[in-house]
Structure 1
Amino acid sequence: MTTYEFVKQFRESDPRKLALQASRYPDVDMPYALNQIQGWQTALRKLPSWAACDGVVYPPHLNMEQCSSEATARYKQQVARRWAERIPNASRTSMTDLTGGFGVDFSFTSRCFDCATYVERNASLCEVVGANLPRLGIRNAQMKCAEAEAVLEQLEPQTMIFLDPARRDEHGAKTVLIADCTPDVCQLLPSLMQKSQFVMLKLSPMLDWHKAIVDLEGTVREVHIVSADGECKELLLVLASDGTPEVQVFCVDIQSRPDSEGQYPRSEFVYSIGGEAEPQPNNSKLKIQNSTFLFEPNASVMKAGCFDEIARAYGICAISRNSHLFLSDREIDGFPGRTFAIDAVTTMNKRQLRQTLSGMKQANIAVRNFPLSVAELRKRLKLNDGGDTYIFATTTSDGDHILMLTHKTKK
């Protein structure tokens, strides 16, 4: 049995168990085979269209875990296409990915351009990606194994330049500041803007995007805060020198698995930076008494901090300035987050708690701007985790500590 045959036959098996059977397959390059099996299993979850493509070669485990998911890569593809189509009189479009990595983002964004260049300083990754791209149907690409800075210096003008700077220092520790990443985008900024119509920059979701706008000296035109299944995954900035002062912020939450039509459904809330949002009313007691639905924004909205914009856009009221929960007397289609129907509201008064929670054995608990942790509150309420009831513990603008007992709506 060849190594290729072994991988194809056992790719759904547990690599740890296969490792114990290595002596039974003397002709198989077992370390390579196990890495390919593990890579395929990761791709099945993270890159389903790649897993469905026969012959794709997978890199070491760390590269697989760090690469973009198909859901977020397809989103970048849509952003790149929209911007490329805005370029006037573009007879032939081009892009260069200066930090190609495993090539997931490149494989999708490159399809939006007539020609594309993949740049990566790691020779082994270049070899893997060079073998994979034709298998994935990418035939407009050229490969360069080189440092990003050296390629940029010699680069002809491009429609788009893409960068995903390495976010680990020489000791392997994570970094989140732009200036601490490799390459340093701030240092390269003049060349990047001179040699491209627009730049797409992928950064850590931990980064302070307000500071990034300042650090990038007014070149940021769009900020995309991208989440998948409620977890913030990446920050995507689009840079251009078109003189537009306005910055649009896109709060996006994508479903990580494709639907029956192969699409990745998403919710999206878009707003522009500029001006102060009107403050929301502070009569918490009146709002709670008249409300039947509670709204919890998704991770991208939470990262953006656009709570006044959300309240204005959907006609909902904040429970308090720091709770980041919203109320309404009606259900709202398309809200970027979760919606709950309110069943009961109680203070922390022992008698009232006893009456409200009578007969309840379990609940899902979340705290927002509340003096107790989830563990402390669960212990005090003597409730197990789980069930259909969701309890939100929060503080009103009047300073009252309350529990809101809710259940998820179908929307």
Structure 2
Amino acid sequence: QVKARQRIRKKLPSWFANEDIEFPDTLPLEQCSSELAAHYRASLLSGELLADLTGGFGVDAAGFARTFSKVYHVEQDESLSNLVTRNIEALDLGEKFEVIHADGIRWLDSQENGFDALYLDPARRDHRGLKVSSLEACEPDLSRIWGNLLSKAKVVAVKLSPGLDIDATLKELPGICEVHILSIGNECKECCYLARRDWKGGARIVCANHCREFEWNCFEFSREEEKSCEGSYGGFQRYLYEANPSIMKGGGFKVLGDRIGIPLVHPRTRFYASDQLISDFPGRVFEILGQGELRRKSASELFPDRQANVMARNVGLSSEELKNRLKLRDGGSLYAIGAMDVSGKRRLLKCIRVRENAAVYE
């Protein structure tokens, strides 16, 4: 229990502080949602009845108990189900939270009445413990049971890995009206898909980046909006911008530039540039101190100490490969950024982070 508590200190701070809560083995703790993500997800749904068909350790279900009158936590692992039952009192969930030991899908099939919402967090590892990269490899396989899920609830919410392709998922799972992409600590953690049985329109993409406590910076767009946006492109200027991980995953690059009024430096480089500082840009901001051709000679001139944090964007090399080619070593406050410009030339940029922005968005 002591080791388990230490593992979840940052992930589940209020649970960590509650000495009456029991914790499971390592795997359920690794797979469970963070308290921040569960809180965000619960803010998306509300109503009378919700069933969490892949209950696990109960973090998600406990979050939904704040916004639903009754929550069913369905878990097929008996020991985990019993543990959650013992934790109900410690979590102060009362009668609105019911733990059921059963296979979630089979239990759902046995229910005659419908639900306001269903929630699933499919297992994303195979029998060898390796992460899977397709819906079919998840357990349960959503592509096979999707129609049944939509017939049982007004809304179906599904948490999936950010490694899964969003557009492919939208094609495989009809009725999705919203995709929420969550990033915490400058890392894309998950995608939450919301579906309604009669929804025929496109999906709204919400790129949510955690700022502080339970505050999120959200950028919303649709695939149709991004497709119809012409976008603007220009050369490197004084400041360089890279969108936060949620936007990078969501892909609303032209829309973001159009709304803020800054150009991309290249259609595939995914950096923006401006002469004036945009301090509230949703992502990282760099100041360009110098630049040259993407060659070792330029690296020697720009970084005489041979030290920098190396980033490669759209230059045909990974960041590690570029670092080795330029003979640079990691560290320091400077950034060596290799990027293709609007004319198609590969440039090496000497940059430094603009820290005011980092405090807001990371």
Normalising by structure 1, what TM-score?
Answer: 0.81
**Displacement after TM superposition at 1:374 (Å):** 3.2
SS of equivalent to 1:194: helix
> Unmatched 5+ residue regions in structure 2?
358-362
| Residues 1:148 and 1:343: Cα distance change in structure 2 (over 3 Å) | same
* Structure 1, unpaired ranges of 5+: 1-35, 85-92
Confirm whether residue 113 of structure 1 aligns to residue 59 of structure 2: no
Aligned counterparts, 1:387-398, within 5 A: 387-398=332-343
Give the aligned partner of residue 192 of structure 2: 236
Structure 2 letter corresponding to 1:141: F
Relative distance call for 1:382 and 1:196 in structure 2 (3 A) is same
Q: Report the more deviating stretch, 369-378 or 394-403.
A: 369-378
Match of 1:189 in 2: 146
How many Å separate the matches in 1 of 2:164 and 2:53?
Answer: 21
Contact 2:182–2:190 at 8 Å: present in 1 too?
yes
1:174 to 128, 131, 139: 131
If you compute each CA radius of gyration, which structure gives the higher value, 1 or 2? 1
Which segment is superposed worse, 102-111 or 367-376? 367-376
1:272 partnered with 2:222: yes
* SS at structure 2 position matched to 1:134: coil
**Structure-1 separation of matches of 2:319 and 2:106:** 51
- Alpha carbons of 1:210 and 1:131: their partners in 2 closer, same or farther (altered >3 Å)? same
Alignment root-mean-square deviation, CA: 2.0
Quote the offset at 1:179 in angstroms. Answer: 2.5
- 1:382 Cα deviation (Å)? 4.1
What's the % identity of the aligned pairs?
31
Structure 2 residue corresponding to 1:292, chosen from 232, 238, 243: 238
Q: Does the 8 Å contact 2:39/2:63 carry over to 1? A: yes
After superposition, the Cα gap between the structure-2 partners of 1:377 and 1:184, relative to the gap in structure 1 and judged at 3 Å, is closer
Q: CA deviation at 1:188?
A: 2.0
Q: Is 1:125 aligned to 2:51, yes or no?
A: no
1:150-165 matched pairs, under 5 angstroms:
150-155=106-111, 156-165=113-122
Q: How does 1:57-96 map to 2 (within 5 A)?
A: 57-81=22-46, 84=47, 93-96=48-51
TM-score, normalised with respect to structure 2: 0.91
**Does the 8 A contact of 2:296 with 2:327 survive in 1?**
no
How far apart are 1:242 and its partner, in Å? 4.4
- Counterpart AA for 2:342: S
> Counterpart of 1:53 in structure 2: which amino acid?
N
CA distance in 2, matches of 1:381, 1:227: 31
Distance 1:172 1:378, change over 3 A: closer
Counterpart secondary structure, 1:150: helix
SS of alignment partner, residue 65 of structure 2: helix
Between the two proteins, the alignment pairs up a number of residues equal to 353
* Counterpart position of 1:310: 256
- Conserved 8 A contact 2:232-2:257: no
